Structure 1
């Protein structure tokens, strides 16, 4: 009886050791997704594109706002000259223009958010594919994401793949840009 209990305990400990050894065979790492998006050349280019677009659209709106402010200042000066009926009518017109300017500003912001959101969503999908391919190529069982939406509570810094994946992403983006430049150069040469 003691022998069978001893053999049973020995078998369980051998199985436990095998499972512990198997658990150590998993290759895991993590990527700081916030840092990836902040330092990615393509993400920076998209952000810069929409900052520039925002400035252009904002400048157009600023012209309208300046015109509105000038009319509002003129309204105050002319209100006494032209009487109460004129002041009420002009005041209503100014309120309506102010609302229109507010709607235009909100519409502009919404348009910029929608357009940049579509590009950023596409970028995220692209990065997920790159990370998946990288994980398969390097033999990882799991790659976790940290950053704004953390899915890892602890990880050793040695498991951080952010720099490696960021380099691949930036190199791939630069290579795509060079391909476009080469294509454009060839088109210009053919025209000559």
Structure 2
């Protein structure tokens, strides 16, 4: 009796293994992250903001560099006429000023990199959060990222939702209240130059 029950149980398990089971299709998609950042209006605005800030601060610093070059040219002309003691003192002053200009340039670059990096990090975190919410809302099991940091090697074009995400993010960004960053750029540039002037 036990042997026949075992055979029946084995037969049932074989039959059930042969039946096709219904497998739920997993909904997946991918976003080209490089393209997303190229086409996302907020990312473009951040890039433009820091380019303008860099240009403004660069112009102010360039004016200081031009004044320095003019003084250095005059120094060479007047060195013999004013004597060796004057030339040594003036040469030391010019060398110190050249170092200050170099430090100011490095500080400006570092400041811009830190500020823009912080803003881009915030933007990327926001985009990731948005994609996560989008994925839940639209019923995706997975949304992959491609681009600079590739996380998949192949994806059919029909799974590319980059355009949808870009459009939704741009719509969301356009509807958000705006602030005027132009005054901030000029104020920051002015502060950098004042700091440079005070070091003279």
Q: Which interval holds the TM-score relative to the shorter structure?
A: 0.7 to 0.9
The superposition leaves residues 103-140 of structure 1 with CA deviations (integer Å, 9 ceiling, x where unpaired) of: 00111111111111111111111111111111111110
1:122 is aligned to 122
Residue 188 of structure 1: aligned partner: none
- RMSD between aligned alpha carbons? 2.2
Segments ≥4 residues shifted beyond 3 Å: 3-14
| Aligned pairs for 1:26-175 within 5 A | 26-175=26-175
Q: Distance in 2 between matches of 1:153 and 1:110?
A: 36
TM-score by length of 1: 0.82
SS in structure 2 opposite 1:61?
helix
CA shift, 1:85, in A, is: 2.5
Change (3 A) 1:73 1:10: farther
Which structure dedicates a bigger proportion of its chain to helix?
Answer: 1
With normalisation by structure 2, the TM-score equals 0.79
For structure 1, list consecutive stretches of 5 or more residues without a partner in the other structure: 181-192
- In structure 2, distance between residues paired with 1:93 and 1:126: 49
Deviation by residue 1:17-69 (Cα, 9 ceiling, x = unmatched): 53xx63x6111110011111111011111111111111111111111101100
Task: Provide the rounded CA distance (Å) in 1 between the counterparts of 2:18 and 2:141.
Answer: 26
Secondary structure of 1:43 counterpart = helix
Aligned counterparts of 1:106 and 1:89: Cα–Cα separation in 2 = 26
Q: How many pairs align? A: 174
